[in-house]
Amino acid sequence: MLAHVLEQHGLATVALSLVRGQSQRLHPPRVLHCEFPLGRPLGLPLDAEFQHRVLAHAFSLLEHRSGPVWEEFPDVIADEGVTPLECRIPPAPGTGSAAQAEARGLRSAWERQYAATGRTSFGRTLTPETVVDAVGAFGRIAAGAAWKEAGLANVMDAAADIRAYYEEAAAALADHVPAARQAESWLYQQTETGRVLRDAQQAIRDAGGPFPVWFYLRPMGQP
């Protein structure tokens, strides 16, 4: 663990833990364990007071000159990620499959979210102009086309871009801040594109495609 290396060079460290067993096996010098959903180490999004309490508790562990020190943050946040977000997709007429129409309908929502935050995880290999075509390419793979000939420069990056596009658009469409992974569950469990990605993953696996290519088309926690 990097913390041990830093400590050996005279730098005091504090770690935030979200996975109890893993953190306990590593024996970090100072750790604050938080029962929060994965991906939200400071707890409640957009709640500065709560996040500052987490940070203040964590930095207070620096009062211990040596460790290991293990403390637990008193507040618990339940993981509601298994419950998909309720999110209505605006209709978008045009050519192509139902999944492509769905992706087309989300563009304005994605653009609103990007304009509001100035941040995005979308854009590894796709653009707003090419995301609908990429969804169509995954549809062709799901229907039996060879994954190397579907028109995707990088299958894994394209899938990651589609996921980011959908989850960021969902944040604009929702009337509240979703719980961790709720938008992810919405994509893979309730949308046409989620179905296409699942089917494409199975098709690549059945065709003997490399493990990293098909495995990373869907998060491990999604059925």
- Is the pLDDT confidence value at 90 over 90? no
pTM here is: 0.74
Read off the DSSP letter of residue 148.
G
Local confidence band at 197 (pLDDT 50, 70, 90 cut-offs): very high
pLDDT of residue 32: 95
- Is the pLDDT confidence value at 128 over 90? yes
- The residues, ordered by sequence, that sit 6+ positions from 212 with a Cβ below 8 Å of its Cβ are 156
Q: Render the burial of 206-218: b for 16+ CB within 10 Å, e for the rest.
A: eeebeeebbeebb
SS3 (DSSP) at 77: coil
Chain CA centroid to CA 189, Å: 15
The more confidently predicted of residues 45 and 194 is: 194
Q: Where are the domains of the chain?
A: 2-72, 98-215
* Inter-residue contact 39 to 181 (CB < 8 Å): yes
Local confidence band at 81 (pLDDT 50, 70, 90 cut-offs): low
Q: How far separated are the first and last CA of the chain, in Å rounded?
A: 31
Rounded to an integer, what distance in angstroms lies between the CA atom of residue 202 and that of residue 214? Answer: 7
- The residues, ordered by sequence, that sit 6+ positions from 207 with a Cβ below 8 Å of its Cβ are 146, 147
Which residue is listed with tokens 């005091």? 12
